[in-house]
Structure 1
């Protein structure tokens, strides 16, 4: 039995790594700086946290030295065999701890680069990948000046952001100021993480958005598959869904670009989620994220691959070898439930198709009595469905039908 320490998690269905590590027979510790952030009022006994052998709430999980200090009593009793996280804001501190313990970890230099999108852009360009025009700004006048240098329209985003939060497209100086203000005013991302409060202005690229999902070990980047992406129209570009693994006609170009980007930043171990836009001039890397894909995408991947990608990640950190992944002939799609108007959510009428053949996951997240609105960022998604079929078209169609027959009753709208 191995000892696995898990530091923080994604907010979606927290404690999944705890579950899979426990089911595999390992001793498990879960460490967080804010347990209430995950429980959201639920008793811990009603979650998979009960599977953990140790639960530690510590002052800081984002600072490497403070995390090491907080973990010292735990690791003094038994040296962990793996320390890992799927929370992007905590991977650097976690890898620093693993390095001190002498166990497998992602390159600290690579994670530092990925934590600064401007520095990452520069490294990709230095490595010969097609550049994307960008500028860094530290105040509103600087953001407007940067946008004018890059050329409208521009993408406005936090230099250290994640989850598409505060990412918008601006076409005027007024819009740049409006989009930049919340970034400059953000002091923390929660769970002991501090915001850099800098604005990255990038050129707006046109083309199809895809992502490349990989696991890396021993100098090899294993491409698990390519995800296509369904996003809302400008200006917000909220992700509404996607299918995996899509048999894309440009799959070789996408995989090659993905591997080149990972090599450029020195990503040497772990999971990565690389976003790419297929422009008329060729593939352009949008972001490289040193983690599994966000939200419920790991469940989409698990459904299509017919294996648990969370389990694969735990095994990778324990054993250092890549999984043997074979094609299954199945494609999974996810589609989000959103509101078409603002107001108070009074009720949700679930789809009669939620138990249909091919529906593998269906969930409503938003509680009644709360405010909803049309999507402006990824938090404005109120439920989802995951479907599985032999083709992307069939899986996508079923997902759309399930969402279309799920009814949000919003106060004052009569719908």
Structure 2
């Protein structure tokens, strides 16, 4: 089985998730990327992966493909077009474009929900009929970058002007502020059946920015929420492969924030796999190889008697990192049991049965700035255990014993 994986910069999801999953399946892998030095130990072909014609040409000149796949936010449509060219299972490229572009997404979701949104192309005047407060953001943005709450027309003008300095040619959107609690829904589909894997409750940092500080496992979202999100996915055609949808539970019911037609990131994919006790990355790849969900064991995974969280350790001031905790992993393989504590005294576990990981994203000597985006993360702690009390205690203990220091 030959997998062509398209990628930009190397990510944890690819390096520690999908590439090991492909190896476990016994697949041959070729990485197509414009950053070939980032994938040592793998067959790599430097490719303009943002151009589907280039991707198709490179694959056609190499080995016959069985799977063409990407987990990149930026390459879903291009990869879907390449898979379609070779007659392979894949996403509808139109759905990928719609999910990525928040203005197109809002148009397509009009039959499902009413969220007022205005498209702001370069040079456009500020909208007159917009309900304040509004959230302004790039139509194709990621990682909470340039996402700002504006209370009135003056704040909106200032926000747009500031964003335009960095993104002069980007389309922006200004949409009504959805007041409520942010959730995620994680789904996996084979094009015929869509399965809900579970979801998370998201804690955001202080407004006017929207930095994700913490995600807590919420395995069984309410039926109204699931019905609304799946109706939205149906509306844009996002029924194949894995999808990470963010939605707000408001007083008027669920409302979609964004649809990310790929696996959840920021190490939460590994948290999700451990919570489900399932080879999640292998599942995703096997769906792209044409296997139906019922052949994978999807739906049989346990979800009840376990709690998990991913906590982002965020820089609160600019400066230089002078102390940083090391990478931490339990000594027991995550595939064995999510509740085994490897060491009662070590930072990766405690007698309550909590297993804890720490993934540093910075290093001592790094200069950090505060951008009010997910780029401010210093590290990520994820932990799973029998209940929230035990997990919170383990996370708090780790943070107290192993702090990040910026001077």
TM-score (normalizing by structure 2): 0.87
Q: Greater helix share, 1 or 2? A: 1
1:34: Cα distance to partner? 1.7
Contact 1:158 1:200 in 2 (8 A): yes
1:153: Cα distance to partner? 1.5
Q: Secondary structure at the match of 1:278?
A: strand
Matched, 1:168 2:148: yes
How has the CA–CA distance of structure 1 residues 367 and 122 changed in structure 2, closer, same or farther, with 3 Å as cutoff?
A: same
Equivalences, count: 380
Summarize the alignment of residues 5-404 of structure 1 with structure 2, pairs less than 5 Å apart. Answer: 5-8=4-7, 11-13=10-12, 14-15=14-15, 16-36=17-37, 39=38, 49-50=40-41, 52=42, 54-58=43-47, 60-74=48-62, 78-125=63-110, 128-139=111-122, 142=125, 145-146=126-127, 148-181=128-161, 183-186=163-166, 197-248=170-221, 251-322=222-293, 323=296, 324-325=298-299, 326-328=301-303, 329-349=305-325, 354-357=347-350, 358-374=354-370, 376-404=372-400
1:10: Cα distance to partner? 6.8
Q: Secondary structure at the match of 2:74?
A: helix
1:217: Cα distance to partner? 1.4
1:35: Cα distance to partner? 2.8
How has the CA–CA distance of structure 1 residues 139 and 254 changed in structure 2, closer, same or farther, with 3 Å as cutoff?
A: same
1:374: Cα distance to partner? 5.0
Structure 2 unaligned spans of 5+: 329-344
1:246: Cα distance to partner? 3.7
How has the CA–CA distance of structure 1 residues 107 and 186 changed in structure 2, closer, same or farther, with 3 Å as cutoff?
A: farther
Contact 1:124 1:265 in 2 (8 A): yes
CA-based RMSD of the aligned residues comes to 2.3
Distance 1:295 1:348 in 2: 18
Deviates more, 1:401-410 or 1:115-124: 401-410
Q: Secondary structure at the match of 1:382?
A: strand
Distance 1:196 1:310 in 2: 35
Q: What do the CA deviations read for 1:311-356 (whole angstroms, capped 9, x no partner)?
A: 1111111133123232243222110112232222222256996322
Could you say which residue in structure 2 is the equivalent of 1:190?
none
Structure 1 unaligned spans of 5+: 188-194
Contact 2:100 2:259 in 1 (8 A): no
How has the CA–CA distance of structure 1 residues 116 and 197 changed in structure 2, closer, same or farther, with 3 Å as cutoff?
A: same
Q: Secondary structure at the match of 1:88?
A: coil
Distance 1:372 1:247 in 2: 38
TM-score (normalizing by structure 1): 0.85
